Amino acid sequence: MTTLHISNWVNGVHAPPSADTLVVTNPADESLIASVDATSRATVDDIISRSLHNFKHGAWPRADASQRFNVLAKAASLLRTRMPEFVELEVRQTGRPVREMQAQLSRIPEWLEYFAGLARVHEGSVTPFKGPVVNTLVRQPLGVVALITPWNHPILVSMKKIGAALAAGNIVIVKPSELAPISILKMGDLFQEAGLPSGSLQIISGYGRDTGKFLCESKHLARIDLTGGLETYRAIAPGAALNLIPITAELGGKAPVCIFPSVEVELAVKAALFASFIASGQTCVTGSRLLVHTDIYDEFVALLTTRTKALRIGDPTDPQTQIGAVINEAAVERCAAFTARAVAEGGKLLCGGSRFGSKGFFFEPTLIETHAESHLACNEVFGPVIALLRCDSEDEIVRIANGTEFALGASVWTQDFTQAHRVADKIEAGIVWVNAHHLNDPSSAWGGFKTSGMGKENGREAYESYTKVKSTVYNYGVLPTWFDDVENARYG
């Protein structure tokens, strides 16, 4: 049987298939979904050249705010009408349960609408310049921007970046992960139908080590926006620095879930399950460290273990499934390796710890009691393997929460109002939730500190990062007179 092929989206059409291709696999049953282009350096360079021409001569960078608003708002409307199609694609290529993907994708049009509205109302300014001078500051698009997006939230993360970049008037090149590129490749015609001028959004597929590298090495980019791993950032950062290209990077996390004794144990357990096992633990803000106060620790652990064992693992297309697949065989092996090392370091395996089933890439939801300095407690698994730590005090919870190189997200669970403020203020993370986890909104800046990255997605911060500020100074006072006598000056 011939495998469906989905080629790059370039200048408003699906380009002819490349000579080299790669296949995309359904992680739940290991079946082939489609093949996509493994884009070569020569093709990448050609697409960048076309994109640069489109920025210099095309309509989108010169479109006024109302035009950008209309196109992005129409794209949001079209996405809503095609939601079942994209939910099905996301489930097949990521292995995530359909109940999760329906909930996540239902909100994604809001990102396009938010940035459409921001483009419409964002204003320049006039500074208090000294003297008879008017100084205007206006924001202009950067140029050609490269967006490197991940496999765990293909559409969500892409729309965060695409919405902000297009709203600001840039020409956008998206390189989705080779593990889950299909839904993004199918976004091209949606934006085309919404009225986006051809060539304003280019979508190219391929391996990160090749196509992604070729793209990020170009000196013609105005910005790189990466969601991925620290090693990927370290691979592209030297070249970007050499070419003076700024990078926004959302990298990794080791989010602590800080649970205090004022929280009812039943609620605390529900909070931990949600924080830890959404997307089978494959998010950058997975609640992968449960820091539980000793006063409720034993009761909490007993109930959490029982509830974790009861989670329904299986077919992601079944609405009753709670835990889907991890992305590939390497992810299964990584989860198993983290589990084995944690136990070897003295950790207590409470449940899980093994591959699930004989077909597909499933790993059991796993809980391990461990200590703050263990490998499991300090490093990102990106899977459903969770560290449980008993803490004797608020100070210890804060110290352990801040004790890794990551600082993306954290949550604080307490019914003590003053404690909530006090602890949230002390925790080092770009996103701190109080009595919540995973909450996201297009208006809320998203990004981490330390090795979790730099820069922000979402909000005004993201929109403005895709612009450059131009200062124009108008002197309406007395013209300069210092060199009026220059014709009479004598030079030695």
Catalytic residues: 250
User: Residue 478 carries which DSSP code?
Assistant: P
What gap in Å lies between CA 287 and CA 340, rounded to an integer?
20
**How many Cα atoms are found within 13 Å in the side-chain-facing hemisphere of 10?**
22
User: Residue 479 carries which DSSP code?
Assistant: P
What gap in Å lies between CA 169 and CA 165, rounded to an integer?
7
User: Residue 210 carries which DSSP code?
Assistant: I
Sheet holding 385-391, edge to edge: 348-351, 366-369, 385-391, 289-293, 256-259, 409-413, 431-434
What gap in Å lies between CA 444 and CA 460, rounded to an integer?
9
DSSP, collapsed to helix, strand or coil, labels residue 76 as helix
DSSP, collapsed to helix, strand or coil, labels residue 105 as helix
What gap in Å lies between CA 190 and CA 71, rounded to an integer?
11
Q: At what angle do helices 265-277 and 294-309 cross, to 10 degrees?
A: 60
Nearest to 378 by CA among 438, 289, 283: 289
CA-angle at 413, arms to 409 and 417, nearest 5°: 115
The number of beta carbons lying within 10 Å of the beta carbon of residue 36 is 25
Considering just the CA atoms, what is the radius of gyration of the chain in Å? 25
What gap in Å lies between CA 228 and CA 71, rounded to an integer?
29
- Residues paired with residue 31 on neighbouring β-strands, in sequence order: none
DSSP, collapsed to helix, strand or coil, labels residue 256 as strand
